Chains A and B, each alone.
Chain A
C-alpha cells in the first residue's frame, strides 16, 4: 500500500504542476482526493487490512491526502489572481504602471556637470548679472571707446551704457572688484549677441568662464586645467589644441580646440572633416585688466578662459542644430 500511495502522490504531483487554471486543478482534486478519488479509495480499502496495520496505513493515507491538497493549494496560489475563471495566460511582458518621469534640460544639466568638474579642479562658483554696464562689459576688459567690439550691430544695447552682456568675462571683473588674489573661480551663464540665427548660431548662448589669478600662474596652468576639464566632460581620449589669437582682455590669447567627439580627431561630417571642434577662447589676463582692478601684474599673473556650453552639449549628444536648445520641443526634451 505504501508503494501505491507513493505512486498516486507522484502522479498527482506531475499532473498538478501542469494544471493551467483553477478548473483543471478542481478536476485533479476530485480525481485524487475527492469522494471517489484515488487516495479516498485507498483509505476505504484500509478496512480490508489486518487490524494492527490499520493505524499506520490510515496515517500514511491521510498524509498523502494532505500532501496532495497542499500541492493543489500551492499551484492555485502560483497561478495567481490574473488567471481568471476563463483561464487566461498571464502576460508578464505588458507595460507596467509607470509613474510620470520628468526631464532635465540638457544644458542646465550640463552646467551642473561642469560646475561639479570645476569644483573638483579647485574653482569656486561665481555669478554675475546678465544685464551689464559699460564699465564691466568693456572698460574693465580693456575694450576702449570706438573699439569694434562695442559696435551696436554686435551687442544688444538697452541704453547707451546698459546692455546684455556679450561674454561671461564680466563676472571676472565683478569678482576681482570684490576679492584679492588668490582668485580661482568659474562662472557659467547666458550671453547675448545679435548673430544671424542658423544651425550653429543663436542670439542667446551659454558660456562658462574660468579665472585663476595668483602668484606664479602661467600658460602651462591654463593648458593643464583645460585638458583636465575637457577629459572630465568629454572623455579620457580627448585631445586639446591651442591656436594663437586675439581678445582685448587676454594677452597672449589663444583659441581652444577639442578633438572631435564623434571621430576622435580623424575627421568626419560632425567636425566638417577637420577633426577638431572650436570650443572657445583663453589667454593670460591682460595686465591692463589687472591694473584697472587694482591687482599688481608684477606680483600676480592669471589666466582666463571662456568655453561654449551649448557647443559642448551638441558635441556630446550629437545634436545638429543649436535652435533645438531653445526650441523647447517636447520631442527634443524627452530624449534627455
Chain B
C-alpha cells in the first residue's frame, strides 16, 4: 500500500516530518517499509496486515493518524449536482447471482471530454506509483486509492444494450482484459456482462473493448461489493491480481460503495465535464449491519500489563469510529461499523487500546522460577550428536525433500510409498525422504568435488514413513557415511553402542541393492532389526558420482534409546592379576567369529573375563575350506591369583570344547 505524504495531509492535520510519520505509523501497527522523495512529495510504502482492509486507502490511514493525534479526519467532498433524466432511463442492472455480488451501483455520465488529466491529479497518482492514463480512468484510480473502494468506468456505448448483468460465467466464455491478455472464465467465476457477453472480470479487471479511451463520450461508472472469497478464487485461478482484487478479497467498506461513486462522479465532472444523471441505479441494497462489543476496563491491565484510564479508553475507541453505546464505571459497549470487520470481541477492543495508548509503554516484570523436568530423550539425542562429533564426523542438516526416483526412495524401515507434496517449490524434489542417505550422498560428493579431504558425515533427524493412519510415522534416524568399508562403519557403531551401554547387540547378514553384496548387515537387539550398515554398492556410488569407497549406516534412534537405559553399577576392581593366553584355532571357513566366541562362552569355563579377536588368516598350509582365527583369553579371579597351570588347564578344556563342537584344531 503506497501513500503520498502531501495527499495524506488533505485529510488529517499533523506536524510530523515524513520520517516521523513513518515511525508513528509503524508503532500503531501500520508498518512502513520505505520512505522515498518523489518530486516535492514523499512516497510512503506500507505493509498492511491482512486484518486491516480498512487501511488500504488514504482515508483509512488518515483515520488512524487522527486517532493518534486525538483529532478528526476531514472527509472528502462528494456532493454532486446531477441533471437531466434519471439513471434508470439510461441503464439497468440485473444480478442473477446475488450471493457473489450483494450490491451493485451504476451511474451514468454523458458528454465527457476524455483527455489528459490536470497536473494535480497526475502528481497524486505518480507519487504513489500509478501511471496516469486519461482523466476518467485516473479519477477511478484516484478514488480507489483515496477511499479504498475500487471503481471501474465503462464506455457506455460499447455495452450491448447499454446495460449490466452481474452473473456467473457459463460455457467457457472468454474476455480480453485491459492488460491485453485473454482469459477463459470458469463456471464459478463472476463476470460483469452486458446484454451479450462479459465486459469485466468482476472485482479483478475490466475488459479491453469497453475501456474508456479518448473517443469515449458516455460513461457507466461501477461501484460494487463483491464476495471476497469469490474474488480471491478467481484471482488465484487466473493468476491475475490488481489493486481492485486486492481490496475486494479482504472486504471493502459497504458504507462507502455509493459515496465513493458519488465522489468519483464529482471529480469526473470537474476534470472531464459532462452531465451526471440523478439517482444512481443501486441493486440489492442491503441494510448496513453494525456489530457491537463490550469491554471491561479491568480486562485491559490483565492483558497488556498496565492500566489505562477509562476516559482515555473511551477517547481512543470513539476516535476510531466505534460509537460508545453505553458506559459505566466498570465497562463500556460500542457499535462497530462494517469497515472494522476485524473487531467483534472484547479482546479486539483491548488491542485497539494497546495500539493507540502505546506498545512501548509495556514494562518488564519479574518472572517466577519454575520446576523443569529433564528430558532424557532430548539429552540422549544431544549425546549421540556429540559422540559422532567426537568420532570425527561432520553434522549435516539436509533437505526433507528428495527426488522422485528409485534411489531417492530408499527406505530401510517399514513404510508404504513416499509421501509427495502437491506443489513443490523444488519441482525436482517433490517426495518426502524415507531415509537420510540420498541427500547425504549428495553432500558427500560435493565435498569430494570441492577438493576437500574425505570427511565422515552424519545426521540425526526425522524420516517420514507413511502408514495406514492419516499422519505418517516420523522416525528419528541416526545416519552416517564414512570413508572406507563395512569394517569402518561397524567400528563406529560398536563404539557408539558401547558409549550408550546398549547390550546384547548382534549383526546379521543383509542383502540390499544399496549395499555391496555380502558386505552389509542388520543390527539386531531383542529380536528386532533396528539398524542397517554396509559398504555402499558400486551402483550407488556411480549414480551419485562418488569415486571413493565409503560405507553407510542408518539406525532407529527411538529404538536405540529404549536399549540404552542401563544405569551404571560399579564393579570392584580385582586385586589379583590377570592371566593372559593367546591361541589360534583352525576351523571351517564358514565359522563366524561370533559363533566361535559364543561357543567358547558356552563352555562355562570360570574366571574367563574377556575373549578378544586379533587375527584371521587364510593360507595354503591350512588346506581348502579352512581358516585360522587367533584370539586372546583373559582369566581373572576376584579372590585369588590364578596359577599358570590353572590357566593352561582352562585353555585345554576350551580347545576340547571347540574341537567337539566346531571341529576346531589348535594351531601350534
Contact = CB atoms under 8 A, between A and B. Distances in A.
Residue from B359, B368, B392, B452 whose CB has the most chain A CB atoms within 10 Å: B359
Nearest to B378: A125
A104 interface: yes
Contacts of B446: 328-330
A181 to B, nearest CB: 12
A328 B421 contact: no
Nearest to A244: B29
B392 A243 contact: no
Given A157-B422, A252-B350, A220 B363 contact: yes
A313 to B, nearest CB: 11
A122 interface: yes
A245 B386 contact: no
A90 interface: no
A227 interface: yes
Interface stretch (B256-264, B395-403, B624-632): B395-403
Contact of A252 (B354, B443, B471): B354
A331 B449 CA distance: 12
Given A218-B301, A252-B303, A252-B350, A132 B471 contact: yes
A72 interface: no
Interface string A147-184: 01001110011110110100000000000000000001
B359 A244 contact: yes
Given A153-B236, A157-B421, A330-B447, A104 B386 contact: yes
A333 interface: yes
B452 A104 contact: no
B304 interface: yes
Interface in B340-398: 342, 345, 347-348, 350-351, 354-355, 359-360, 362-373, 375, 378, 382, 385-386, 388-398
A223 interface: yes
B400 A192 contact: yes
Contacts of B462: 130
Contacts of A121: 367
Contacts of A251: 347-348, 350-351
A157 B419 CA distance: 10
A239 interface: no
A146 B363 CA distance: 37
B365 A221 contact: yes
B456 interface: yes
Given A194-B425, A221-B365, A243-B29, A124 B305 contact: no
B450 A246 contact: no
Most buried by A among B391, B425, B456: B425
B372 A123 contact: yes
Contacts of B452: 330-331
Interface stretch (B46-54, B179-187, B265-273): B46-54
Contacts of A219: 303-305, 354, 362
A120 B420 CA distance: 40
A209 interface: no
Interface in B181-234: 229, 232
B421 A218 contact: no
A119 B49 CA distance: 33
A194 B249 CA distance: 21
A95 interface: no
Interface stretch (A4-12, A38-46, A79-87, A105-113): A105-113
B367 A228 contact: yes
A203 B355 CA distance: 32
A133 B422 contact: no
A102 B395 contact: yes
Contacts of A129: 471, 474
A103 interface: yes
Contacts of B27: 243-244
Dominant SS among interface residues on chain B:
loop
Interface residues of B, number: 83
A305 to B, nearest CB: 14
The secondary structure that dominates the A interface is: mixed
Nearest to A132: B471
Nearest to B365: A220
Contacts of A100: 391-392, 456
A184 B370 contact: yes
Given A131-B471, A220-B362, A108 B397 contact: yes
B455 interface: yes
Given A99-B392, A102-B395, A246 B474 contact: no
A252 B351 contact: yes
Contacts of A130: 400, 462, 464, 474
A13 B133 CA distance: 104
B390 A102 contact: yes
A97 B215 CA distance: 88
A125 B375 contact: yes
Question: Residue among A164, A218, A244, A301 with the most chain B CB within 10 A?
Answer: A244
Contacts of A334: 394
Interface string A239-257: 0001111100001111100
Given A130-B400, A204-B400, A252-B350, A195 B303 contact: no
B302 interface: yes
B533 to A, nearest CB: 18
Contacts of A196: 425
A133 B354 CA distance: 34
Contacts of A301: 302-303
Contacts of A102: 388-395, 456, 458
A158 B419 contact: yes
Interface string B531-571: 00000000000000000000000000000000000000000
B385 A104 contact: yes
A148 B424 CA distance: 19
B28 interface: yes
B306 interface: yes
A328 B394 CA distance: 9
A225 B456 contact: no
A333 B456 CA distance: 12
A325 interface: yes
A196 B29 CA distance: 26
6 smallest CB-CB distances across A and B, nearest first, come from A100-B392, A220-B305, A122-B370, A244-B29, A246-B49, A218-B305
14 contacts: A102-B391, A119-B372, A121-B367, A156-B423, A157-B423, A158-B421, A195-B425, A221-B365, A242-B360, A244-B354, A245-B31, A251-B347, A328-B443, A329-B443
Given A190-B400, A253-B351, 17 more contacts: A101-B389, A104-B386, A115-B378, A119-B372, A122-B367, A125-B378, A131-B472, A161-B470, A218-B304, A218-B365, A224-B367, A225-B367, A252-B303, A301-B302, A326-B397, A328-B446, A330-B452
